[in-house]
Chains A and B, each alone.
Chain A
Amino acid sequence: MRRIIRNVRVMDPSDGFDAIADLAIVAGKIAIRGAVAEDFQADEILDGAGLVACPGLIESSLQAHTPGHGRDGDLASELQAAVAGGVTQVVLRPDTQPVADTPAVLQEQQLLAEKLALARVQVSAALTTGLRGQALSEMTALMDAGARVFSQAKQPVHSAALLRLALSYAADLGLPVMLHPEDPELAAHGVMNESGLSLRLGLPGRTAVAEQVGIQRDIAIAALSGCPLFFPHLSTGGAVAAVKAARKRGEAVRCGVSIHHLLLSEQDVGFFNVHAKLLPPLRSLAERNALRRAVADGDVTAISSDHSPWGVDRESMTFIQAPFGISGVEWLLPLTLRLVDDGLLGLMAALRLLSTGPAQALGLPLPSLQVGSVADLCLFDPEAVFTLNPASGASRGRNLPYAQWDLRGRVRYTLVEGRVVFRA
């Protein structure tokens, strides 16, 4: 299959290329980036006028509930949502049912992903069996079964001693480890940020200090073995500062922030809005602004949607019972463009945080539109404004607090290895 995209604004964070150009894709790879001759033979020519072409986005944390019971979505529905959002590569969260701590689970996920042929799927394996933090998982077997990263999903490892052993063992294998840094006893059973607001609502609070204590511990322990760490979802300026300080010391630590923590705050909980229930919780406006500054200053490597769909039967739960999470992968790009509109970032920097950034953090090959690169790309119309209707999404999850928001930026085509996996 040969494809040409004509007159598109190519924005490639891998080398900073930003110009109106043509792209030719041959055998799943970028063959030409520049001017493509008129007589170049192609099976399809896409008109890129008014569109931006960038490397496909990478979602570093996607809960697909596969394996799982299917009520809250499955790999098919959630990968469909991903490609509709211009995402060409996802890392599956290991907190599935059962947990991704055996080769069989990883194989099932990969076989299914191959059959679906939508976004590229990287499987993560649980760092500890059952994510319980009591015993090391069979990391070599899991790596051989395809794991590209070890993860604790949203579970902190309670025992510092066990974390030390797990990170030392993982360091031998050279794969990065994703951690949820939080002191579990300080965090207790909090369901929202601990503050005057949680006191007002009578909801158990989760103190920001729990994250700061947790991340100091995790960073110090990782430094003992040099295990590369990635904290995909920090919620406090203090935690990002801890990562920055560790990087200054030369430690292999990176962090990401969910787009929700950059757009929303605890105020969005309002009167028990379950769609604003996140882990880590949405914090104060001051923390949100500290995170925004950190993103603008380049202290954050990746932005994620922390995609966590849940089905409509969870809508009738009280705030305390409702599960954590927002279903957002499909809207990751337009939500992130809000940061551009707010003057926080240039468009190129925003695209970097969604593509090359997560790849760096996860140790994946850097996505690129340079000649010879795998043709994973996203074409979007940066001027298309639409009003978000959660029911229009491909995801099974309708749980997002952005209903009726006006967003800018619509994905028109998503290509994975040169194949069009989504068009609108």
Chain B
Amino acid sequence: MSLSTFRFGDGNPQYDAQGRLRHLLNTEGLREPEMLQILDTAESFLSIAQRSVKKTPTLRGKTIVNLFFENSTRTRSTFELAAKRLSADVLNIAVSTSSTSKGESLIDTVDNLMAMQVDGFVIRHPEAGAAHLIARHLGDSALVINAGDGQHAHPTQALLDVFTIRRLAGPIEDRVVAIVGDVLHSRVARSQIHALSILGCPEIRVIGPQTLVPKELSALGVHVYHDLQAGLRGVDVICALRLQKERMESHRLPSLDEFHRRFGLTPERLQWAQPDALVLHPGPMNRGVEIASEVADGHQAVILQQVAHGLAVRMAVLTLLAGAAGGGENHA
């Protein structure tokens, strides 16, 4: 007798039952054509930004809620601007994290906003899986974009990073990329790894001390380095990560200076990589910790371009998801 074993854990809620992308929760599991479609659409939005009239009517009449349970300047403001440039109405809600544990549940907050007939949520939350929970709850009734959930995922950041690499460093399928710093706690790094893998990056390296870059990361298909010089050798793109000060309190590092001594990106150390290797950073930077000012302000850094690209990528994501929800005219 063969009995079925239905495993609920298998379901990826970013797709609907027909396999259409309804939410953007992570780069993990995205199909390559979908990712390319987002990147190509972002290219067209980049040119719109150069015009004197920067608005398109794509999302006219739609309401997008920026629901942020964590502080953010860059992500929140680029999402807001992206939605506004698409002519959507935008509601910004900043919820203090403490109120979720004692007061209203996350689902109740979302349901209350749904009662106001909104069309989509951009959500940032300090806990991994929060956006999945909401997407599973809402199903097809509104779109959900994960703008960062705990240490899990930050897909639009990863998309803007691969967009930047593709534009400024050439085809990802023959570029070696290194991610340097606190990978363990970084949702950006996780989403970058998935995005790069899907786009065929031949070699992804993660570099940092074992306390922040555990060997088990190799399960994600990356090469693990605990030595900066070895890790940077021959690399075309360097993605620095922000180092959180809390890591000192949890004894994962002796000090910020010690981290800089081993893994800080300085002009001298950049020479270990390919000449003119690109330097990315998701911001906000700790100058003098993970990145020296000379590098941050140097010609190899593309940190401000990343911000501009972020706007275009977020416009692309909103357009594609809202288009899919509105009957699929943009989904083809």
**A interface vs B, CB < 8 Å?**
194-197, 199-203, 267-273, 275-276, 313, 316-321, 338, 341, 385, 401-408
Contact = CB atoms under 8 A, between A and B. Distances in A.
Interface string B118-129: 000000010111
B3 A318 contact: no
A320 B219 contact: no
14 contacts: A195-B216, A196-B220, A199-B184, A203-B151, A276-B9, A316-B105, A316-B133, A318-B106, A318-B128, A318-B129, A319-B127, A321-B101, A401-B7, A408-B1
Interface in B193-245: 214, 216-220
A275 B8 contact: yes
A402 B4 CA distance: 10
Nearest to A191: B128
Interface of B: 1, 3-13, 28, 101, 105-108, 125, 127-130, 132-133, 137, 149-153, 184, 187, 190, 214, 216-220
B26 to A, nearest CB: 9
Nearest to B190: A202
Nearest to B220: A200
A321 B3 contact: no
A291 to B, nearest CB: 17
Nearest to B218: A196
A402 B220 CA distance: 28
Contact of B5 (A275, A319, A405): A405
A385 B3 contact: yes
A403 B11 CA distance: 13
Given A200-B28, A408-B1, A271 B132 contact: yes
A201 B184 CA distance: 11
Closest 4 CB pairs of A and B: A270-B9, A196-B219, A202-B152, A272-B129
A195 B219 contact: yes
Interface centre among A268, A272, A402 (most CB of B within 10 A): A272
Contacts of B12: 271
Task: Name, among A268, A269, A275, A317, the residue most crowded by chain B CB atoms within 10 Å (CB to CB).
Answer: A317
Contacts of A271: 9, 11-13, 129, 132
A200 B1 CA distance: 36
Contacts of A197: 219
A197 B216 CA distance: 9
A270 B220 CA distance: 15
Contacts of B9: 267-271, 273, 276, 401
Contacts of B217: 196, 199
Among A194, A196, A269: residue with most chain B CB under 10 A: A196
B183 to A, nearest CB: 9
Nearest to B151: A202
B128 to A, nearest CB: 4
Contacts of B216: 194-196, 199
B6 A319 contact: no
Nearest to A320: B127
A202 B3 contact: no
A200 B137 CA distance: 22
A270 B10 contact: yes
A341 B128 contact: no
Nearest to B108: A316
